[in-house]
Structure 1
Amino acid sequence: MLKKQMELLLNGQVNLALLDVEKAYVEQHALLHEGAIQHKTFLHFNVIERCDKLNEELLAEETETFLAMPVQYLQEHAHEFMYVESDRFEVIRVDSFALEYDEAFAVYSALFGLRLQKKQGEFLHTYLTTHLQHENITYSMAFSGQDGLWEVNLALNALEGFSEQQSFGEVFVLLYRFVFELLVELEETL
């Protein structure tokens, strides 16, 4: 599953820039020779939007420079959420990421759709329970048969390495790594 997605990403690419988790995976599975891989620490986004939480109305389309802002921005603008899409999300089977600050639980939340089969729900539940630690609710998930994906809502505060001082860009890379590692572990169990 993940191997196939990585092969599609690598197909015909020369001097491809990969995140650390992608690079480690490619090297472990000998998908490319080492000299063809460059390291990168950021993701490119096709869509970067700030939206109103109440009605999901678009407040502003942003450029990648906005992603340098600390994620704490969401606590200061609690009526907003951040929405991003990236072609790179195909690798991790995610449609998009949305970030918001949940005032009721005083946590930052990430919402995304994860294209996994319904039968993989037990694995997903176990993985999230094992890898997310926080005193408040750490996650919720529900399978959408209509969309064929798991709708996941997780508390960023429960994610190892998360800090509200991190930039949006850093948080999206942290989320990407988290889902990538989830898929690596799932692939090893299949």
Structure 2
Amino acid sequence: MIGIAREGGLLLLTLQRPDKANALSRAMLADLLAALEDPPQVLILTGEGRVFSAGADLDEARAGLATDPIWDAVSNRIASLPGLTIAALNGTLAGGAMGMALACDLRLAVPGAKFFYPVMRLGYLPQPADPGRLVALVGPARAKLILMAGAKIEADEALAWGLIDRICAPEDLIPIARALATDVLAAIPGHASAIKRLIG
């Protein structure tokens, strides 16, 4: 349920459960962790179908997945990668799946995408690293709108806030992500990670 495609230094990971809105099971999260053990120069993370991910699989969430530390393990693994990481959001991003996108360096999204993280309504805390990353992108008040007031953010507003970096037509999403990867893939080893350290 995770598509894994390696093309030289590029790793394309695709959530492949479109019949369930790419809801994530623990097995899928474990597969993501395993796929990231060998750090690529560029990671592109995307989904199949019209939704990037609805978050946790509901049955597994009720059985404990909603508060499982594996969510933070995946997002922290993404955040620690030395190369360029791009979330190519093919549709709506919800719940714990937002952590993976927040951990990426860049976020592209299609026009119809929505963004929400309904932890307040569901009675959960967000994963530990997510609020800080969200605040770094949108500021504390807007982070509270999402995490406490349950706001659903449309793509245009997400772009204006800095939650995403570019809106792309669906057919252009992966080609644009690949184009953004070009310079990193052509660089000498360590150049991308050196720039990331300078940016902080």
TM over 0.5: no
Bigger proportion of residues as helix: 2
TM-score, normalised to structure 2, is 0.27
TM-score, normalised to structure 1, is 0.28
Asked which structure has the greater CA Rg, the reply is 1
Bigger proportion of residues as strand: 1
